[in-house]
Amino acid sequence: MTRLKLRTSAIAALLLGTATPALAQDICGGFGNNGQWIGGDEASSDITMAETYLEQMALVLGGNEYVSLFTLSAPTDIRVEAAGRGSGDPIIDLLDSTGSIILSDDDSGGNAASRAETFLDAGTYCMSLRSYDGGPMTAFVRIGRQDQDALTDGVSTDSSTPTGSCDTAVPFGPLGNSVSASVNDTPFWSFELDGQTAITITAENETADPVITLYGPGEAYIDENDDYDGLNSRLDVTDSLAAGTYCLGVTALSDNDAPITISINEYNAEEALQGIYARGEAAPPLDGSVLVTDLGVLTSRMRQDLQASGDVTWFSLDFEDAGLLVVEAIANGNSDPWLVVYDDLGRQVGVNDDYGDGLDSMIAARLQAGTYLIGVRLFDGDQGFVRLVAERYVRAK
């Protein structure tokens, strides 16, 4: 998983008024220098001695991270948590005094919240928080001892933890096949490759929230994935794998009894590229290979209604002069739209889900003259009506 190094500046603390930025240098190897002490200042941020858990409201600005700082005066069993407001989906990293990542978590708090429990020696630590989709998010951060109240419910333990190993793996069958089974029934699958092959593996059922881990001969770890497309998982192994027996471990973060559909296919570069465009992870080319509706020159304001889905619908518009672009995707609570804007070279201008207190989305960006692409999809993957509004503002003279 790529670790973002850009940290939220002290402006978040000024907006929220909840904590004092750290003044010391090289906290967590420098990653925590603009972080916020979880107790308001360093002296009040000792989790070992705190009478109760310590908590902050964190504002995660688009593409950045919010960093909470704390200390331990003695070895302590601690719990770190983050729960987003609305449909916010936080991801947390826990870093030691050198900036090394001790652990990471996405959904272990349940309902898209993050949670991790561990034992740490005395010292200074940082917990960084970012948004799963890269958009702005407000979240609650709580750091405390394991004997203190938790912020999140944690992942349900009604189903047993998967047991076994690759030695007990069930044969998957030939490539191009699909199988369906719960983690409790089949936590490991095995498959054979006859020669050098690049492969794609998917695991689908958002109710289960699957995580897949690929092992090579001798159970050598190759790669893993969680939440590639919504809560579903996917691995694209583009470097060809040698002939041999491979093993796929499957776990479920939410429901071990829910059936998970596993598919293993030869990697298709064109299909993978189309999937990237459909998810809005990259801008499509303007060569007609992907449908892009031309909205023409934006002079002041335009409106476009569409029946959106889980795949991105693409539009283009032209800016004849520099100005401010404001784009909104409005569904009035009937669905959950998501927005992204790219320039004609494929550089991302902005991305947003859930602007303000509702589910509608908005992006505001200063742009130079040129062609820009706007992508709209529904975050929950269903079908729904969305009104796209684009407005252009120019500087007063």
Q: Cα 155 to the chain's mean position, in Å?
A: 18
Each residue of 280-319: pLDDT tens digit?
989 999 999 999 999 999 999 999 999 999 899 999 999 9
- Which residues, in sequence order, are bridge partners of residue 196? none
**Tell me, what's the pLDDT at 345?**
93
Find tokens 């002490």 and name the residue.
37
Distance CA 332, CA 386 (A): 9
Distance CA 128, CA 296 (A): 42
| Structural domains for the chain | 11-145 (2.60.120.380), 166-267 (2.60.120.380), 280-393 (2.60.120.380)
- Which residues, in sequence order, are bridge partners of residue 137? 60
In this predicted structure, the answer to whether residue 339 has a pLDDT above a threshold of 70 is yes
- Of 350, 393, 345, nearest to 374 (Cα)? 350
Distance CA 188, CA 265 (A): 17
- Compare 8 and 21 and report the one with higher pLDDT: 21
Banded pLDDT at 16 (limits 50, 70, 90)? very low
Strand 370-378 to 384-393 pairing? unpaired
Each residue of 41-81: pLDDT tens digit?
999 999 999 999 999 998 887 668 899 999 999 999 999 99
Largest CA distance in the chain: 73
What is the percent of the chain where pLDDT is above 90?
Answer: 63
List of residues 6+ apart from 65 with CB closer than 8 A? 4, 6, 7, 8, 128, 129, 130
In this predicted structure, the answer to whether residue 386 has a pLDDT above a threshold of 90 is yes
Find tokens 């740490």 and name the residue.
120
List of residues 6+ apart from 373 with CB closer than 8 A? 283, 284, 286, 292, 314, 315, 316, 341, 342, 343, 344
Helix (H) or strand (E) holding 82: strand 76-84
Q: Cα 230 to the chain's mean position, in Å?
A: 9
Residue range 206-226: average pLDDT?
90
